[in-house]
Amino acid sequence: MIVIDGQKSDLSVKNCENLEQVFNTIVEEGLLSDRVVTDVLLNNEPFSEIYPHQSEDIDIGEVESLEIVSVPLDEMAVSITRELYKVVELMSKGAGEVAELFRRADDSEALEMYQDLLDVTRDFMGMIGVLRDEFSLAEHPEFLAAAKEISELLTEMSEVTENEDWILLSDLLEYEFLPAVGHWKKVIASLREDIRNNRDKCGS
């Protein structure tokens, strides 16, 4: 028995040999079009792959029931934008702490936190880019300006790091990176509005 978002499916899986083929059939039939899977219950137990293609190793004979829970892609995107606000706050807090550590000459801990900050920043930029490409229907001058600003700053900070000028790096973090990160709040708000407008147009 296959249940998708609370509705029993009549999907035929008689030609499937394993669970992965069942998932592929569900996708090919368009049953999850423009949706994101949030939960999978296999035989009434939560299921997620521990290793890639684990579902391929689960014989169809072992599948007594399969329940899939999903949400609309645009709904998930709006939720992600809310999380991005939290990431902005995290980046701001992290930048301030790194700057303070450098000023206290605690270079080892500062560099460790600085690397974490760079990783978070790159992940943030990547997610913003994906959401904008996927949903944004309008060009955002704020996005272009904020992206250019943060990109140039990261390049400058990289050069300063190579020169091991930690005081200058702390100044860049506090007086330039922090304001630059703050500019993303407006970008995220615009992006969320675009996603909602896109959803309204699709629903009309």
Segment 40-90, tens digit of pLDDT: 999 999 998 888 889 999 999 999 999 999 877 777 777 788 888 889 999
Residue 69 lies in a domain: no
Q: Burial code of 164-195, b = ≥16 C-beta within 10 A, e = fewer?
A: eebebbbbbbbebbbebbebbeebbebbbebb
Q: Does residue 177 sit within a domain?
A: yes
Assigned domain for 35 exists: yes
Tell me: do 109 and 143 sit in the same domain. yes
CA 135 to the chain's CA centroid: 14
User: Taking all residues of the chain, what is their mean pLDDT, rounded to a whole number?
Assistant: 87
Q: How far apart are CA 76 and CA 184, in angstroms?
A: 20
This prediction's pTM: 0.63
* 124 and 164 inside one domain: yes
90 shares its domain with 148: yes
Residues 93 and 193 in one domain: yes
User: What percent of the chain is modeled with pLDDT above 90?
Assistant: 49
Tens of pLDDT along 92-108?
A: 999 999 999 999 999 99
For position 199, what pLDDT does the model report? 63
Asked whether residue 85 falls in the same domain as residue 121, the answer is yes
Give me the pLDDT at residue 136, please: 62
Query: Which amino acid appears at position 108 of this protein?
Result: S
Same domain? 113 vs 181: yes
- 59 and 83 together in one domain: no
Domain count, the chain: 2
Q: Which band of pLDDT confidence, cut at 50, 70 and 90, is reported for residue 141?
A: confident
| 106 and 154 both lie in a single domain | yes
Q: Residue 118 has which token pair?
A: 């760079």
CA distance 129 to 141: 14
Same-domain pairing of 198 and 176: yes
Q: Answer yes or no: is pLDDT of 5 > 90.
A: no
Question: What residues contact 178, with CB distance under 8 A and at least 6 apart?
Answer: 92, 95, 96
pLDDT band of 203, cuts 50, 70, 90: low
Cβ pair 64, 38 in contact under 8 A: no
Which domain range does residue 113 map to?
75-203
The verdict on 82 and 53 lying in the same domain is no
Among the listed residues 45, 51, 48, the one whose alpha carbon sits nearest the alpha carbon of residue 37: 48
Domain contains 70: no
CA angle in degrees (0–180, nearest 5) for 60-63-65:
140
Pairing of strands 66-72, 35-42: antiparallel
